[in-house]
Structure 1
Amino acid sequence: MKHQVKHYKLGRDTKHRTALRYNLIRSTVLHKKIDTTLAKAKCVQPILEKLITKAKISNLETRRYLLSFFRNDEIVVKRIFEIAEQLKEINGGYSKIVKLGQRKGDSAHIARLCFSGDIL
């Protein structure tokens, strides 16, 4: 039995799933909000929270870690540290999931993953 182990497979193999998570996190950081399915938003939210917590500590080690994750200097310097600076006073709960209803085509539950606070 798997007790207290929460993994989202999302109907994909491992490489596709990791690429999907990376792209969703990158889009969320770039655009500050995304509309996606509820399962994908729940899968990405804990990873995004941990990256923001790490970005709040601004040193060389953190910068290198974020560069290895995002593989793009523009995202790390201009976006992620800017978001972390705006969320400096908050101790957790940097992002929120807002349910938007169901998609008309396949009735999938749609949600908006966005940052909490005055960032939008």
Structure 2
Amino acid sequence: MRHGKKVNHLSRTDSHRRAMLANMASSLILHKRITTTLAKAKALRVYVEPIITKSKDDTTHSRRTVFSYLQNKEVVSILFRDVAPKVANRPGGYTRILKMVNRLGDNASMALIELVDYNEIYTNGDAAAAEKKSTRRRGSKAKKADAPAAAGKAPKAEAAPAEEAVVVEETPIADVETAPVAETVEAPVAEAEEVAVAEEAPAAEEAAPEAPAAEGDDADEKKA
């Protein structure tokens, strides 16, 4: 029974397990990501992260200590030259484990383990999130700073009367256009009145001679 034993031996002897983890750590440093079983990925994370932390201190003693674990001069030089400066500002958590589809042969749980700072997709997302946060802060400060300026610029909103002036200038044009129409409408009315007066005058003249004829008739009647 393995009660209280937290180390996963991965069904290997101690020497075999260390050699396997050293090879996997070298492959991770060279290729920045590898695919393996989930149990091996978890064991590799515990093995390689202290080595990466040790590489931040670029001294002869640190290089010899890291070489004792990895047993590969090329990998050690890449670790101290490229990886260590890139993770210098990260206080641990240098690797990320992503679960994948189970293996077809034995249905084993598979995972991808990678160095966090070498994943451009996640790194760009973090940078974009940082930019959004910074813009929000700047936006709040900008609103406070622009509030007095907006108050000073408020009198400029009196540009509306300009439009009223344009409307007032247009009104005489409408009056000028309607004036001739009124004259043309009134002229025929005046002519009609003159024609009516002219027609009434002859009628009155025709009615006037009839009066003497009536008087003559009355005189004849008296003589008779």
Alignment TM-score, normalising by the size of structure 1: 0.89
1:99 matched to 2:96? The reply is no
Partner residue, 2:70: 70
The answer to which structure, 1 or 2, has the higher relative contact order (CA under 8 A, 6+ apart) is: 1
Matched, 1:80 2:79: yes
Identify unmatched segments of 5+ residues in structure 2: 121-224
In 2, Cα distance between equivalents of 1:52 and 1:31: 15
RMSD of equivalent CA atoms: 1.5
Query: 2:110 maps to which residue?
Result: 110
Runs of 4+ in 1 over 6 A off after TM superposition: none
Fraction of identical pairs, as percent: 36
Q: Is the CA contact (8 Å cut-off) linking 1:36 and 1:112 kept in structure 2?
A: yes
Contact 1:83–1:119 (CA under 8 A) maintained in structure 2: no
Counterpart residue identity of residue 63, structure 2: R
- SS for the counterpart of 1:111 is strand
Aligned ranges 1:13-92 → 2 under 5 Å: 13-77=13-77, 79-81=78-80, 82-92=82-92
TM-superposed deviation, 1:118: 3.5
Post-superposition Cα deviations, 1:16-51, rounded to whole Å, max 9, x if no partner, equal: 212111111111111111100000000110111100
- Unaligned regions of 5+ residues in structure 1, if any? none
Q: Is the 8 A contact 2:10 2:40 kept in 1?
A: yes
More strand, by proportion: 1
Across the two proteins, how many residue pairs are aligned to each other? 117
Q: How big is the shift at 1:69?
A: 2.0
Alpha-carbon distance between aligned partners in 2 of 1:25 and 1:69, rounded to the nearest angstrom: 9
Q: Quick one: structure 1 residues 55 and 98, their matched pair in 2 at CA, closer, same or farther if it must change by over 3 Å?
A: same
Map 1:7-18 → 2, pairs under 5 A: 7-18=7-18
Distance apart, 1:108 and its partner CA: 0.4
Tell me the TM-score normalized by structure 2.
Answer: 0.49
Pair member with larger Rg: 2
> 1:73: how far off?
1.9
1:119 CA drift (Å): 5.4
Q: Is residue 27–residue 34 contact of structure 1 (8 Å, CA) maintained in 2?
A: yes
Shift of the 119–73 alpha-carbon distance from structure 1 to 2, 3 Å rule, reads farther
